[in-house]
Amino acid sequence: MEWKKKDLPLLEDKIKRLEQEVKFTEKLLEILPVPVFYEDTQGRYLGCNHAFGDFMGKREDEILARTIFDIVDSNTAETYYHRDQKMIEERIPNLVEERQMLHSDGTYHDIVFYKTLILKEDGDPSGLIGVFFDITARKKAEGREREYLERLQKLTYALSITQEAERKIIAMEIHDSISQNLALSKLRLQMLEESVESPFLKDELNKVVRTLDESLQRTRSQVFDLGLPILYQFGLDHAIRCLKENLLEKYGLNVAFRSTPLPDNLSDNFKAFLFRSIRELLMNVIKHARTKEAELLLTSQSGEILAEVSDRGLGFALDDLDIPHLSGNSCGLFSLRTMISLMGGRMEVLSMPGKGTTIRLIFPQDAFSEKSGYPERGRTQ
């Protein structure tokens, strides 16, 4: 008895602190703007805050000492109850998931749900604490964003098609008028040179013929760049092999090219875009990598088109790719990545200073078939 009297003040002090802690916790729960509740191992609600009651459309006395079966429909209650029991039986410490819940306004809201297992001192579960965040507005915003991105993607692809059509028209105009007139003028001057006896005039005419010949070569090169006649006539694989020879002749870049057959139904517009993207990547090797060797892989795998360009040159820091003004290399890749992303594909970059660079362009092949008309968003996710 003397021991109890001796320790009574300490015990009273401890009880008082516990009461203060409980009041503080209850006050904290009440001011939280998100719904919070806690329940025992049988699923009976032991406490909740006003936000939870408002969401469920129930008063506190209609929730406490009751179960989920008393406040929602039986099918939903059954699902939640078994989920909670699984946490308790298997000692799952935390649960995080997205779900839809019926709000007191009569509509279903998207929420992120968090549950935590409460353990007693002996390690046995004593109940659960739950809290959830209403993300309905965020979900709607994400839906609008997806819609805008899909529209932007379609517009981007339509712009690409329009640009390609304009290039073909300009190429045909150059080929059918300018190139033919230059070729005809060259032929007439050559005929005139044969009929002229003056060595001086012959030499001058030869100079003009050589100038016309250089102009013809440049014009043919421009026609190839604009209209890609080889691609449309002989296919993407042949056009890349011609590009490979051209880069070796002009810049000394030796490209090791490997390919596997691509789907037959890819649209010409997509093939042209892919060709121009590959050429840009190879030109980046010439301009920035300081190497004369590169590798190119073009293949179809797992429903995707893959174009991979790699080199063992200077490389660069990947952080530079997100800062387009740092160098011409990052600027070009930044623009290409943006364009590819808007068209529904993705670009993967692997690089380190002094370790070379590998760049992969990946597209969903079904989105660029001749029937699709435009890429469908989400195929690459």
Tokens of 86: 């699984």
- Residue 381: which pLDDT band, with cuts at 50, 70 and 90? very low
Is the backbone of residue 106 left (phi > 0), alpha (psi -120 to 50) or beta? left
CA pair distance 185, 217, nearest whole angstrom: 14
pLDDT tens-digit readout, 312-355: 999 888 876 665 544 445 557 877 888 888 878 899 999 988 88
Q: Mean pLDDT across the stretch 50-71? A: 91
- Order of strands, sheet of 108-119, starting from the edge strand that comes earlier in the sequence: 45-48, 36-40, 125-134, 108-119, 94-102
The pLDDT assigned to 268 comes to 83
Q: Which of 85-89, 143-147, 258-262 has the lowest mean pLDDT?
A: 143-147
Kindly tell me the burial class for residue 296, based on how many C-beta atoms sit within 10 Å of its own C-beta (0-12, 13-18, 19 or more): buried
pLDDT tens-digit readout, 100-111: 988 999 999 999
5 alpha carbon, distance to own chain's centre: 72
CA angle 341, 342, 347 (to 5 degrees): 15
pLDDT tens-digit readout, 233-276: 788 998 899 899 989 988 999 999 999 998 888 888 888 889 98
Which residues on neighbouring strands pair with residue 254, listed in sequence order?
A: 293
CA pair distance 117, 159, nearest whole angstrom: 55
For the entire predicted model, the pTM comes to 0.56
CA nearest 273: which of 115, 118, 156?
A: 156
Over 80: is that where the pLDDT of 91 sits? Answer: yes
Tokens of 279: 């050429």
Q: What is the mean pLDDT of the chain?
A: 83
Q: Could you tell me whether strands 254-259 and 293-301 are parallel, antiparallel, or unpaired per DSSP bridges? A: parallel
Tokens of 11: 């015990």
DSSP per-residue string spanning 244-298: HHHHHHHH--EEEEEE-PPPTTB-HHHHHHHHHHHHHHHHHIIIII--SEEEEEE
CA nearest 34: which of 52, 8, 56, 11?
A: 52
**Residue 116: CB partners within 8 Å, gap ≥ 6?**
93, 94, 95, 128, 129, 130
pLDDT tens-digit readout, 167-211: 777 777 777 788 888 888 888 888 888 888 888 888 888 888 889
Over 70: is that where the pLDDT of 35 sits? Answer: yes
CA nearest 291: which of 326, 259, 255?
A: 255
CA nearest 270: which of 359, 202, 344?
A: 344
% of the chain at pLDDT higher than 70: 84
